[in-house]
Amino acid sequence: MQSGPLIEIQNLTVSYHRTPAIRAISLKLQDHGIIGVIGPNGAGKSTLLKAILGLVPIEHGSVRVYGEPVDRVRQKISYVPQKEIIDWDFPVNVYDVVMMGRYVHLGTFERPGPRDRKIVESAIEKVNMVEYKNQQIGNLSGGQQQRVFLARALAQESEILLLDEPFVGVDAATEQAIIDLMHGLNKEGKMVIVVNHDLGKVQEYFQYLIMINQWLIAYGPTREVFQPELLSKTYGGRLTILQKSERLFNIAK
């Protein structure tokens, strides 16, 4: 059993074209829970997820997943990226996209077997996309596309799931399906980390919060850190957001 942090980030700095996107962030994520990542546009939320995944060069610091560099435990962590960075014109159908989640478990020349196909069929069923499994992904609605990539993550059978703004551009039914999946994974003892921009849903959706604005502002149980003073530090006096947040805080109180 894992005794240390599932994810340990130490003094992490990532820059794009010599401009820091996140600065000197240190975090130890131990709890198997649903963790929200919030902050203003340009705060480095997506960069933080990509750094955990090893998808961006690290200027300084380190990231360990289960005490190892992520490349050694790639099968234990899955990722649903923002929809706009996906090539929806690529000629691949729903079933094949979901099967991609199994590739981390296969050898270089190994083909998917009956167990892999069973897992893929189950994942497609869990997101209610069975009737669309032979359709090309570019022909689906935004909500359906998001469900497909959630199914791919489920098919990977990872212990940690990273979702980058999964609620953007989806219908109410898909949003609820995502929430149900998050809670289901949590009950299985898995960690779910979600970049989210809607402060109105924070207290309802997340057990823990990471609040960043390039620097780490706070991390802890949502009920402890979703407070006006920490929101002010995170959003830098952006009054429209803060006024909305303080109303939500007052209602919750």
Half-sphere exposure of 215 (CA within 13 A, CB side): 6
The yes-or-no verdict on residue 84 having pLDDT over 70 is no
Work out the average pLDDT over 162-184: 89
- Fold type of domain 7-252: Rossmann fold (3.40.50)
Q: What is the pLDDT of residue 48?
A: 96
More confident residue, 61 or 87: 61
Q: What is the pLDDT of residue 253?
A: 45
Domain ranges of the chain: 7-252
CA angle 248, 249, 251 (to 5 degrees): 65
Q: Is the dihedral of CA 51, 150, 98, 188 positive or negative?
A: positive
Work out the average pLDDT over 231-246: 66
Residue 139 gets the label, from left (phi > 0), alpha (psi -120 to 50) or beta, of alpha
The yes-or-no verdict on residue 252 having pLDDT over 80 is no
Q: What is the pLDDT of residue 249?
A: 53
The confidence band for 243, taking pLDDT boundaries of 50, 70 and 90, is low
The yes-or-no verdict on residue 251 having pLDDT over 50 is no
pTM for this model (two decimals):
0.88
Tell me what the pLDDT averaged over the chain comes to. Answer: 88
* Cβ-contact 146, 178 below 8 angstroms: yes
Work out the average pLDDT over 41-48: 93
The confidence band for 246, taking pLDDT boundaries of 50, 70 and 90, is low
The 10s digit of each residue's pLDDT in 115-152 is: 999 999 999 999 999 999 999 988 888 888 889 999 99
The confidence band for 44, taking pLDDT boundaries of 50, 70 and 90, is very high
